[in-house]
Amino acid sequence: MSAPVPRRAETASSAGAMVPTLASAARGRAQTAYRVFLNHPQNCADCAAQRGRCEAAQQLWDTYRQDRG
Ligand SMILES: [Zn+2]
């Protein structure tokens, strides 16, 4: 009675929790880049002047697109 009995429920939940690390890291970067991109125009005179994406905003967008895959 000393041996621990493996529970099927725990095995199933740990298997379901497995997430590709690289994919989730890239996705996290993409989400961060997208958030910065959305907030960027509020603090950018260039974006306000040209009512569009300035060079910095375009780079943020490119980062988001690349990390999103
Ligand atoms: Zn800008």
Q: Residue 69 corresponds to which tokens in the numbers above?
A: 């895959």
The pLDDT of residue 62 is above 80: yes
Q: State residue 60's pLDDT score.
A: 92
Tokens standing for 56?
A: 């910095």
Q: Residue written as tokens 């740990």?
A: 14
CA 60 to ligand 1 center in whole angstroms: 10
pLDDT at 7: 67
pLDDT for 68: 86
This prediction's pTM: 0.59
Distances (CA, A) of 61 to 18, 21, 57, 66: 29, 23, 6, 9
Look at 8-12, 19-23, 36-40, 62-66 and tell me which has the smallest mean pLDDT. 8-12
Separation of 34 CA from ligand 1 center, angstroms? Answer: 14
Cα(52) to ligand 1 centroid in Å equals: 8
Average pLDDT, the chain: 81
At residue 14 the predicted structure's pLDDT band, cuts being 50, 70 and 90, is low
Three-state secondary structure call for residue 66: helix
Residue 3's Cα: distance from chain center in Å?
42
